[in-house]
Structure 1
Amino acid sequence: MSESNIKHLSFTKRPISVPADYRPSYKIAQICLTLKYSCIGSKSGLLKLHLFSWAFKRIDNRNELLKYVNSNFQSEFSVWSIEPTLNRALHIATAEKYCSYSKGTYKLEEKGFLFCDNIEADEEILSEEISLLKQIGKKKITDTRLKELANQWTLFND
């Protein structure tokens, strides 16, 4: 074994940027906007929130979702991802009263509506997400339709 001539070793802590997709505030904004624009009564189940979170990640995902919706749910549709970052953001959003949770449903609260208003005040913030949500609207993707789709996956993959 060779000996090292190092007498002193030190480390300097440097800031590490966190990708936007992992920042709770970014995910909370997406959750609030989804509840406002694409959920009847500004309420949604977890599966729908994960679907939109997946669609926001990549343009290909967004296009696949739009194709599926515009084909009246007749085109092929792949399984979307379930994200732990969304789950963490939902815990924070409910704790901070942006939304509430009851019986498997998340509901946008007054603080969440105000957060959406602040986001919308700047037309450049989350504009792609808002555009997608407005294109899809509130009535096209229901929690029932998503549960049926998810059940098809389990039937084919048993």
Structure 2
Amino acid sequence: MTEIDLANRRFSFRRRPVPVPGDLRIAWRVALIMAMLGSSRANRASLAKLHIINDAIRSGQQDKLKTILSGTHAAVPWNLRVEPAFARAVDFVVGEKLAIWTKATGRAALQLTKTGVDAAAAVMGVEDALVEERAAVAELAKLITETGVGALLGEKVRA
């Protein structure tokens, strides 16, 4: 058996591109937020509603959420997973003045600006991008009311 002399060998390293899944790119998240706000009533949605829709789309549980919202099953709290990357995309949307902070039913909410409305329309108008996501957002954003958000989060109804 021959012994390999590694001490006299040179090693070189080359940086290779690593593909990043679409849902980890900020452009994907910003486009999704624009679609969510553009599909919501008055181009406004609470941060909780945005997180719920984002979570349903990311986890592939849109159908489960639709079933819960349809009322055919007893309302159960949604096990919400809050993503730091989604929060950074929200900050980017606000920083780019596509949306402003406001309130919806006592919760922190985002509302599209004029520029944001145009951007949301552009996102929704692209036929071959975010096809599944846009379809889910268009349906879910209309189904989830702020009262429904409270029920999904397990909030008690105030008398």
Bigger Rg, which one: 2
Aligned to 2:66: 66
Q: Is the 8 A contact 2:66 2:140 kept in 1?
A: yes
| Offset from partner CA, 1:71-106 (integer Å, 9 cap, x none) | 267354541211111101011111111211235221
For structure 1, the residue ranges without an aligned partner over 5 or more in a row are 154-158
Q: Is the 8 A contact 1:67 1:75 kept in 2?
A: no
Quote the offset at 1:127 in angstroms.
2.0
Quote the offset at 1:8 in angstroms.
2.6
Residue pairs, 1:21-100, within 5 angstroms? 21-37=23-39, 39-59=40-60, 61-71=61-71, 74-100=74-100
Aligned to 2:114: 110
What is the DSSP-based 3-state SS (H/G/I as helix, E as strand, rest coil) of the residue aligned with 2:31? helix
For residues 8 and 113 of structure 1, do their structure 2 counterparts lie closer, same or farther at Cα, with a shift above 3 Å needed? same
Q: Which amino acid aligns with 1:96?
A: E
Equivalent-residue separation in structure 2 for 1:48 and 1:88 (angstroms): 16
Residue pairs, 1:120-139, within 5 angstroms? 120-138=124-142
Quote the offset at 1:15 in angstroms.
1.4
The structure in which a higher percent of residues are helix is 1
Q: Is the 8 A contact 2:47 2:109 kept in 1?
A: yes
Q: Greater shift after overlay, 23-32 or 70-79?
A: 70-79
For residues 46 and 137 of structure 1, do their structure 2 counterparts lie closer, same or farther at Cα, with a shift above 3 Å needed? closer
Aligned to 2:7: 5
Aligned to 1:146: 149
What number of residue pairs does the alignment pair up? 149
For structure 2, the residue ranges without an aligned partner over 5 or more in a row are none
Equivalent-residue separation in structure 1 for 2:17 and 2:25 (angstroms): 15
Q: Is the 8 A contact 2:99 2:113 kept in 1?
A: yes
Equivalent-residue separation in structure 1 for 2:78 and 2:109 (angstroms): 24
Question: Normalization by structure 2: what TM-score?
Answer: 0.79
| Offset from partner CA, 1:11-32 (integer Å, 9 cap, x none) | 1111112111111111011111
